[in-house]
Amino acid sequence: MLFMVKMDVNIPAEFDAEKATQLKFVEKNRFQELQRSGKWRHIWRVVGQYANVSIFDVESNAELHDLLVTLPLYPFMTVTVAPLCRHPSSIYEDDR
């Protein structure tokens, strides 16, 4: 199942800067692990925002939820999820 996920990150200004830097480092490692597994297929930065739009390829709603909550920055995120399906006019066969 494909899902479009928008993640808006809002780390409070009073949050310890060193801890924030460490969380971002761990977040990047977790993201790359999920990307290598094929679960996190695409990620795009939203210009001018601390946000991204991503495409996940997972087995279920529950699996997506379970992956998202493992992200170190998850407590600071507002997450919007939309299920996707292949558009009949797409020329790409891997759009499932």
What pLDDT digit, counting tens, does each position of 37-81 carry? 999 999 999 999 999 999 999 999 999 999 999 999 999 999 999
Strand order in the sheet with 51-57: 40-45, 51-57, 2-9, 77-84
As a whole number of angstroms, the distance between CA 25 and CA 6 comes to 20
pTM, two decimal places: 0.89
Higher pLDDT, 92 or 29: 29
Say which CATH architecture domain 2-84 belongs to: 2-Layer Sandwich (3.30)
Q: What is the pLDDT of residue 87?
A: 87
C-beta separation of 41 from 55 below 8 A: yes
At residue 28, φ and ψ (nearest 5 deg) are -60, -40
Query: Counting beta carbons within 10 angstroms of the beta carbon of residue 25, is it exposed (0 to 12), middle (13 to 18) or buried (19 or more)?
Result: exposed
Name residues whose C-beta falls within 8 Å of residue 93's C-beta, 6 or more positions apart in sequence. none
